[in-house]
């Protein structure tokens, strides 16, 4: 592949938009394609449809020169590379929904055939082992010879930085397109990044193995946290700190909490689990990661019911709605499922989040009270539950004195070392016994 002039990115979500903006910073002409015209209208006005640090200002610079959008691939005449970054959401039973992969692949196939072109096609969407071979290849036919599987590892909350500084690049597929893509990446990244070329199936599996392993670490440390909870002089962070010093374990992803959420870990663990079922084996291990995570949300509810004797008509304040800090994404957020449970118990729920209030409104409408100020959220409350590690919450203190019944359940132990005018219950700190 010669130095590419024009690059198409299909799907303007977290992955596609971040990639498109990054590529324009490297002076490529990028066309972002998305079927959602509302999203494109927002982008054309220089706003991102979701919050990611640094992304909106980068979008504004890109729009001035190298970035354009369309909802119709056939309006573009040609391109050297086509990146596919459409969603692969879960079905009700946890298996993967490939409808966007199938529809975008059909569109690419027709577009290439009509224009007599053979760009390098790159699948960045997370797809299960066998998807390239059994689903994509039959649609692309001869175009599949020029196609690679190149999973994405960015994290929401640091999507742009992770795209600028990836820790690894994995390229699966035939040698010719894989080498072309490898050379492309080697040119655009100034720093040396490990690039692994491998089979398409390995590339597909690497992404699921990676996410499932990280999810396993979280479910493991949450299990330890629940043991700590039962011993009055125990603290999960002390345990995590020391086991993290063992180089065979490492200190990342050992932060106990209310359970993992977001658009990736829950769906990827369940999709891999459902693949093992289709393969006839199933997996007790993957099932345990998933079940442990679900139980952790129940543990938060137990901590609340231990403190608030009668939930009916009580006032409970939720601090943090996004599944993680620096993001407004509430997909599979534990806060959302917890609020749903509290509402069924006739609790008056007040919520605060620095970024995710608008997204929560589309779920709860007028069923909860939305607060832009933490003090308002805590006023007359019977219990506050901190669920997201927003750095704004680190400075909280006197705000808790507004509560009717000052109890804080801190699922992230953000405020464990502060003197607060509140009864402090830290998840994984054994000062409260929950049986």
Nearer to ligand NAD, 156 or 382 (CB): 156
The values of phi and psi at residue 138, to 5°, are -60, -25
Both tokens of 399, joined, read 């705000």
327 binds ligand NAD (CB under 6 A): no
212 binds ligand NAD (CB under 6 A): no
429 binds ligand NAD (CB under 6 A): no
32 binds ligand NAD (CB under 6 A): no
33 binds ligand NAD (CB under 6 A): yes
Q: Own/partner pairs for 87-95, CB < 8 Å, 24+ apart?
A: 87/11, 87/13, 87/125, 88/125, 88/126, 88/127, 88/267, 88/271, 89/263, 89/267, 90/266, 90/267, 90/270, 90/271, 93/274, 94/267, 94/270, 94/271, 94/273, 94/274, 95/270, 95/271, 95/274
16 binds ligand NAD (CB under 6 A): yes
Nearer to ligand NAD, 86 or 383 (CB): 86
Q: Which residue has the tokens 């490939």?
A: 98
87 binds ligand NAD (CB under 6 A): yes
| DSSP three-state, residue 418 | coil
- Looking at 81-89, 172-180, 295-303, 313-321, which segment touches ligand NAD (CB under 6 A)? 81-89
Cβ 83 to ligand NAD, closest distance in Å? 11
15 binds ligand NAD (CB under 6 A): yes
Which residue number is nearest to ligand NAD in terms of Cβ?
Answer: 13
85 binds ligand NAD (CB under 6 A): yes
- Beta-strand ranges (E) seen in 305-347 are 315-319
Cβ 332 to ligand NAD, closest distance in Å? 11
383 in active site: no
- Looking at 13-21, 140-148, 383-391, 414-422, which segment touches ligand NAD (CB under 6 A)? 13-21
From 5, 41, 74, 103, residue interacting with ligand NAD (rule: CB under 6 A): 103
How many residues at the interface with ligand NAD, by CB under 6 A?
Answer: 27
Contact positions with ligand NAD (CB under 6 A) in 239-298: 263-264
Cβ 71 to ligand NAD, closest distance in Å? 8
Cβ 35 to ligand NAD, closest distance in Å? 5
The values of phi and psi at residue 372, to 5°, are -90, -10
Cβ 160 to ligand NAD, closest distance in Å? 12
From 13, 90, 130, 244, residue interacting with ligand NAD (rule: CB under 6 A): 13
156 binds ligand NAD (CB under 6 A): yes
The Cα 147–Cα 127 span in angstroms is 14
- Looking at 96-104, 346-354, 363-371, 423-431, which segment touches ligand NAD (CB under 6 A)? 96-104
CA nearest to 11, candidates 39, 32, 40, 37: 32
β-pair type (6-10, 369-371): unpaired
From 48, 125, 147, 163, residue interacting with ligand NAD (rule: CB under 6 A): 125
Half-sphere exposure of 72 (CA within 13 A, CB side): 3
From 1, 25, 29, 36, residue interacting with ligand NAD (rule: CB under 6 A): 36
Three-state secondary structure readout of 205-245: HHHHHHHHHHHHHHHHHHHHHHHHCCCCCCEHHHHHHHHHC
Q: Name residues whose C-beta falls within 8 Å of residue 25's C-beta, 6 or more positions apart in sequence.
A: 58, 61, 62
Q: Which helix (H) or strand (E) holds 291?
A: helix 284-307
From 154, 160, 171, 239, residue interacting with ligand NAD (rule: CB under 6 A): 154
The Cα 170–Cα 388 span in angstroms is 31
Catalytic residues: 264
């Amino acid at each position: 592949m010669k130095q590419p002039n024009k690059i198409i990115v299909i799907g303007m979500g977290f992955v596609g938009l971040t990639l498109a903006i990054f590529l324009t910073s490297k002076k490529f002409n990028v066309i972002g394609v998305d079927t959602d015209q509302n999203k494109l209208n927002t982008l054309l006005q220089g706003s991102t449809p979701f919050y990611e640090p640094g992304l909106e200002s980068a979008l504004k610079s890109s729009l001035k020169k190298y970035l354009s959008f369309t909802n119709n691939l056939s309006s573009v005449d040609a391109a050297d590379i086509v990146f596919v970054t459409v969603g692969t959401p879960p079905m009700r039973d946890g298996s993967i929904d490939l409808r966007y992969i199938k529809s975008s692949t059909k569109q690419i196939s027709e577009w290439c055939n009509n224009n007599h072109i053979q760009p390098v096609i790159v699948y960045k969407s997370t797809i299960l082992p066998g998807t390239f071979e059994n689903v994509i290849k039959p649609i692309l036919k001869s175009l599949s010879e020029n196609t690679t599987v190149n999973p994405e590892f960015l994290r929401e909350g640091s999507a742009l930085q992770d795209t600028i500084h990836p820790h690894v690049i994995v390229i699966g597929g035939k040698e010719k397109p894989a080498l072309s893509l490898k050379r492309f990446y080697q040119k655009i990244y100034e720093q040396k990044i490990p690039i692994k070329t491998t089979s398409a199936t390995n590339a597909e599996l690497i992404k699921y193995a990676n996410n499932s392993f990280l999810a396993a670490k979280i479910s493991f440390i949450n299990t330890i946290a629940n043991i700590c909870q039962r011993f009055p002089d125990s603290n999960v962070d002390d345990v995590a700190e020391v086991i993290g010093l063992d180089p065979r374990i490492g200190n990342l992803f050992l932060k106990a909490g209310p359970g993992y959420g977001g658009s990736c870990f829950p769906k990827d663990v369940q999709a891999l689990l459902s693949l093992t079922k289709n393969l006839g084996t199933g997996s007790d291990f993957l099932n345990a990661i998933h079940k442990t995570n679900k139980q952790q949300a129940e543990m938060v509810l137990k901590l609340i019911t231990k403190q608030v004797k009668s939930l009916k008509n009580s006032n409970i304040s939720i601090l943090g709605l996004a599944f993680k800090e620096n993001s407004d994404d509430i997909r599979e957020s534990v806060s959302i499922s917890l609020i749903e449970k509290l509402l069924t118990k006739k609790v008056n729920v007040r919520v605060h989040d620095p970024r995710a209030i608008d997204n929560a409104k589309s779920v709860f409408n007028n069923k909860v009270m939305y607060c832009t100020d933490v003090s308002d959220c805590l006023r007359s409350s019977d219990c506050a539950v901190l669920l997201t590690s927003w750095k704004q919450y680190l400075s909280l203190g006197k705000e808790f004195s507004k509560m009717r019944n000052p109890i804080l359940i801190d699922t992230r132990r953000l405020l464990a070392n502060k003197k607060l005018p509140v009864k402090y219950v830290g998840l994984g700190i054994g000062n409260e016994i929950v049986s």
